């Protein structure tokens, strides 16, 4: 879309697309149709990458929502072309919550993690794996998911006196109050 937009209306244009053939973004068909409608030629060169030795995360399974402090399981499905040892880690909000090394067979292996939800909000989980040898497609060694944590959210009280009577009254009523100065 951006390349077609750079060609001035009515001017001849030609684009060269270098690709590994793996679509990782939005559907390219509408952009190709726009280029054809404007008579902008699109040439391509396929730059294939070998997939031998490609360790990859196929899927990261987690519940969509949990309650605050609830324990739950996450499953990371890893594909390996050969028997090998893989190193893995799982992080929540950038903080590592699990890591290690495990022998996997040729094919698909499930790694299971037990974790506990935090406070209300959204938990951002990232899983990573790494095989023994060089990996020709390292970008598929990482997966991310979001887990919603349903529950009461803290109340933000903006006041000149954070330790004042209103903050104490709300906290005394059982509310989680975070009082801050303006």
pLDDT digits (tens, 9 = 90+) for 95-127: 999 999 999 999 999 999 999 998 888 999 999
Q: What is the dihedral of CA 136, 81, 45, 2, to 10 degrees?
A: -70
Report CA torsion sign: 149, 113, 76, 53: positive
Residue with tokens 């938990």: 123
pLDDT at 153: 78
User: Are the beta carbons of 15 and 4 closer than 8 angstroms?
Assistant: yes
Length, in residues, of the chain: 182
Question: Looking at per-residue confidence, does 48 or 13 come out higher?
Answer: 13
Q: What is the mean pLDDT of residues 147-160?
A: 90
Residue 173 has pLDDT above 80, yes or no: yes
Query: Mapping DSSP to helix (H, G, I), strand (E, B) and coil, where does residue 5 land?
Result: helix
Tokens of 21: 């053939």
Rounded CA separation 168/101 (Å): 49
pLDDT at 29: 87
Phi/psi-derived region of residue 181, left when phi > 0, alpha when psi is between -120 and 50, beta in every other case: beta
């Amino acid at each position: 879309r951006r390349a077609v937009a750079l060609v001035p209306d009515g001017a001849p244009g030609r684009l060269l697309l270098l690709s590994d053939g793996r679509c990782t973004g939005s559907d390219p068909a509408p952009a190709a149709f726009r280029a054809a409608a404007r008579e902008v030629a699109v040439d391509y060169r396929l730059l294939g990458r070998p997939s031998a030795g490609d360790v990859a995360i196929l899927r990261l399974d987690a519940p969509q929502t949990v309650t605050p402090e609830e324990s739950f399981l996450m499953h990371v499905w890893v594909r390996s072309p050969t028997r090998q040892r893989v190193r893995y880690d799982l992080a929540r909000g950038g903080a590592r919550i699990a890591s290690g090394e495990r022998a996997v067979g040729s094919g698909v292996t499930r790694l299971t993690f037990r974790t506990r939800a935090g406070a209300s909000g959204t938990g951002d989980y990232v899983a990573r794996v790494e095989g023994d040898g060089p990996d020709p497609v390292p970008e598929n060694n990482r997966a991310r998911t979001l887990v919603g944590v349903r529950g009461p959210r803290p109340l933000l009280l903006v006041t000149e006196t954070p330790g004042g009577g209103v903050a104490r009254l709300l906290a005394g009523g059982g509310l989680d109050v975070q009082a801050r100065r303006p």
